[in-house]
Structure 1
Amino acid sequence: MKIGIVGANGFVGNRAVEILHLEGNEVRPIVRSAASIDRLTQKNLDCRIAGAFDRAALEAAFKGCDVIVHSILGSPGLIRGSIAPAYEAAQRAGVRRIIYLSSMIVHRSAPAVGTTEASPFVEDQPFPAHSAKIYAERKLLELRKNGSVEVVIFRPGIVFGPRSRWVIDLANQLSQGTAYFINEGKGICNSVYIDNLIHAIRLAMTVPEADGEAFFVGDRERVTWFEFYRPFAEAFGVDPTQIPHLNAPEFNHSWKQQVKDTLWNSQVVQKVLAAVSDDLKQKIKSAIPKRNKRTIEIEPFQQAETKPQPVVTEMMAELQQSQYKLPFSKAEKILGYEPIISFDEGCRRSIKWLAETKQFHQLLKLVEID
């Protein structure tokens, strides 16, 4: 089987390339730039370059592929605007099926008790990316009605593993003393180890009944946020019971910020940005102070006069207050899905990867100094 993976340099896409290639499939990574190819961990593959809005380039990249895995992260404008070009390109290229990576966030970050894949989307959400995912799912299924390319949608929750932002961000927070719990860490973390998600994607490539369906997919275990943090905290020598318990503050959204977000995240703006060269983007990026880094980059340590304090974000406040583990019984029934990696093993592999990074011991030193 020939499999094209859009967004192959991202966390999910990169791991999909690794696993599917090792299993003997003909994998074609599809990325937006030559620089993105350099970041792939699996080398010497038939890589193609195609922007998310460039239907002609996507069509050329999709030629000969049986299945396309669409795994793009980015702004709401990118999420919305990338759907029609990808589907139309797949139609023209003769692709049989698109597997689209959506998210549980279409039902909110803290889904209501009893939520299933058939539950209505939660329309009124404070995060533009959530609404964009809802739009993307609807658009795909609308295109499927008049098109021949089959569509399968996945709605994973907290996808973690080596190289994931969840692991990297948590490592940085534990080392800096800025990790925190809302609701004493008792909320449900809808975790899915990356290899379990790729396993589900692989199954969805061939099951006829999956066409037009959406699936939750997760780990077998019911995991709280305290249980998610604990193995990583212990790896850093941090007592998880000493991680601060904070209250979720009220978050206000000014109309000015809403207008700014709407304009910046629009499809028009994102299409313009997509046309900007990578060199110019890098120059602009380097001139802007970095915030919320998602790679382990440690600044030279200097003893601070005051200890950094945890800052509660609106997203984490909602995630950590979840009271419901999303069921994956539908994936079990239709796809034959069973998690192949336990939660504990997923944590062990993630911590092992962390320990092999150059910066891990620097992070440990920060904990020891504190």
Structure 2
Amino acid sequence: MLAPATLQASPLAALGPRLAAQPVARSGAVSHRPADTPVLSRVFVTGAAGFIGGHLCQHLKGAGVWRQVPFVRGAQSAELLRTQGLEAVQGDLRNPVDVVAGLKGCDAVVHLAHGEQGPKVTRCLLQLAAKHGVKRFVYVSSMAVHGPAPGPEAAREASARIGRYAHDYSDSKAEQEEAVQAAYARGDVEVVILRPTIVYGPAAHFVMQVVQEARAGAYTVFDEGRGVCNAVYVDDVCRAIEAALQTTRAVGEAMFITDDHPITWGEFISTFAMMVQPLPRRVQLSSAAAVQYWAVHPPAPPPALWLRAWRKVRHLGGWQPPLAPWPPLGRVQRECFPVAFSNEKAKTLLDWSPQVSFQRGAELTRAWLSAKGHLL
């Protein structure tokens, strides 16, 4: 296990200005917050067909006190949720008519969906939520708002900064956070922003990526696996989201959702790779060599239609695209991450703490992988 501290500067700094932050806002909260909030009960959940969204819907159902409205785009996703005892609303977040139909009677929103028009969709959703009487808006952001290679100041929310990093996902999440905080500053709606870290569990993208590689006979780690992996089990994220719906202390605030004990990427990858039979071999890679390769061979952006199809089916059985000669640059950045995030703010404001250790979370994930036939 890693102590809650930072590693040495990431070798990704060699990428130069492309990864340099251009600070535009502090990640702290607007100062005012309400003294009291009505009890919330009916929750509109976007991204309900995704990894976290699917787990959240089951979590809220199990809690027995929430009436939820899972909002999904595809008929197949809606039918899948129905088979799980959840009545989903089918629609397109880009269509205000669909959104209003789903929001009817809801007093809270959990916004998990992320797509090509994320900032535009989030601004529209905030406006419609305020117009139709939503009291609480929980935006599930990401640690990615601090960029792929932040400095030690990012370990805690008070000193962490949000910037622009020429990185589509990071920049989109940052822009959406700004829209959420702006809505709160206007008094439109109460907001809570959660920044989950590396969320894993059954059907998680991070896990399936490792398993797919291991099933080919070998798995790779960068720089002996020393990078910081801020892993958090999906059920703990769901409990944090539920807490954000219930407490008033977190209104107007943004906070990391992560485990108490960060691990290394070597531990994370090896744990899941070595579940595969026959056992794969471990291959050591250099992040500097990978960065050099991608500098000479920049990846062509995938066609938009292909990318949409990948996003649509990725959560169904954990399918992943074919591997490139070198792991993609995004993976290099992720697995050479230099910062261990603190969860103290979430513990204080949400009255929450992670309950699932990495060892236990890995066991639960292994059971799912085995049941789905992914380990042979």
TM-score above 0.5, yes or no: yes
Say whether residues 1:317 and 2:360 are aligned partners. Answer: no
**In 1, distance between residues paired with 2:87 and 2:105?**
12
Give 1:126 shift: 3.4
What secondary structure, in the 3-state scheme, does the structure 2 residue paired with 1:151 have? strand
What's the counterpart of residue 250 of structure 2?
210
What's the counterpart of residue 35 of structure 2?
none
What's the counterpart of residue 128 of structure 2?
89
Say whether residues 1:153 and 2:193 are aligned partners. Answer: yes
What's the counterpart of residue 341 of structure 2?
326
Alignment-mate amino acid for residue 219 of structure 1: D
CA distance 1:127–1:297, change in 2 (3 Å) = closer
**In 1, distance between residues paired with 2:95 and 2:259?**
36
**In 2, distance between residues paired with 1:122 and 1:45?**
36
Say whether residues 1:169 and 2:209 are aligned partners. Answer: yes
Alignment-mate amino acid for residue 316 of structure 1: R
Q: 1:252 aligns with which of 295, 299, 319?
A: 295
What secondary structure, in the 3-state scheme, does the structure 2 residue paired with 1:252 have? helix
What is the aligned-residue RMSD (CA, Å)?
3.1
TM-score by length of 2: 0.79
1:112-162 deviation per Cα after TM superposition (whole angstroms, max 9, x unaligned): 213122335353423212111111000111122224311111111111100
Say whether residues 1:61 and 2:102 are aligned partners. Answer: yes
What secondary structure, in the 3-state scheme, does the structure 2 residue paired with 1:243 have? strand
Give 1:184 shift: 0.7
Q: Which stretches in structure 1 are left out of the alignment for 5+ residues?
A: 266-283, 300-307, 365-370
Give 1:240 shift: 7.6
CA distance 1:355–1:90, change in 2 (3 Å) = same
**In 1, distance between residues paired with 2:364 and 2:120?**
36
What's the counterpart of residue 15 of structure 1?
55
What's the counterpart of residue 233 of structure 1?
273
Alignment-mate amino acid for residue 3 of structure 1: V
What secondary structure, in the 3-state scheme, does the structure 2 residue paired with 1:69 have? strand
CA distance 1:256–1:183, change in 2 (3 Å) = closer
- Asked if the contact 1:14–1:41 (Cα under 8 Å) also holds between the matched residues in 2, the reply is no
Say whether residues 1:182 and 2:222 are aligned partners. Answer: yes
Give 1:88 shift: 1.3
**In 2, distance between residues paired with 1:215 and 1:207?**
14
Alignment-mate amino acid for residue 27 of structure 1: Q
What's the counterpart of residue 22 of structure 2?
none
Superposition map of 1:125-164 within 5 A: 125-164=165-204
Q: Which stretches in structure 2 are left out of the alignment for 5+ residues?
A: 1-40
TM-score by length of 1: 0.80
What's the counterpart of residue 43 of structure 1?
84
**In 1, distance between residues paired with 2:310 and 2:75?**
25
What's the counterpart of residue 152 of structure 2?
113
**In 2, distance between residues paired with 1:213 and 1:148?**
15
What secondary structure, in the 3-state scheme, does the structure 1 residue paired with 2:109 have? strand
CA distance 1:296–1:233, change in 2 (3 Å) = same
What's the counterpart of residue 280 of structure 1?
none
CA distance 1:297–1:61, change in 2 (3 Å) = closer
Q: 1:338 aligns with which of 330, 353, 362?
A: 353
Alignment-mate amino acid for residue 76 of structure 2: A
Give 1:323 shift: 2.3
Higher-RCO chain (CA-CA 8 Å, sequence separation at least 6): 2
Give 1:296 shift: 4.3
Give 1:325 shift: 0.9
Between Structure 1 and Structure 2, the one with more strand by share is 2
What's the counterpart of residue 347 of structure 1?
362
What's the counterpart of residue 278 of structure 1?
none
**In 2, distance between residues paired with 1:312 and 1:120?**
28
**In 2, distance between residues paired with 1:10 and 1:80?**
18
Say whether residues 1:103 and 2:146 are aligned partners. Answer: no
**In 1, distance between residues paired with 2:314 and 2:134?**
36
What's the counterpart of residue 67 of structure 2?
26
- Asked if the contact 1:172–1:296 (Cα under 8 Å) also holds between the matched residues in 2, the reply is no
- Asked if the contact 2:47–2:113 (Cα under 8 Å) also holds between the matched residues in 1, the reply is yes
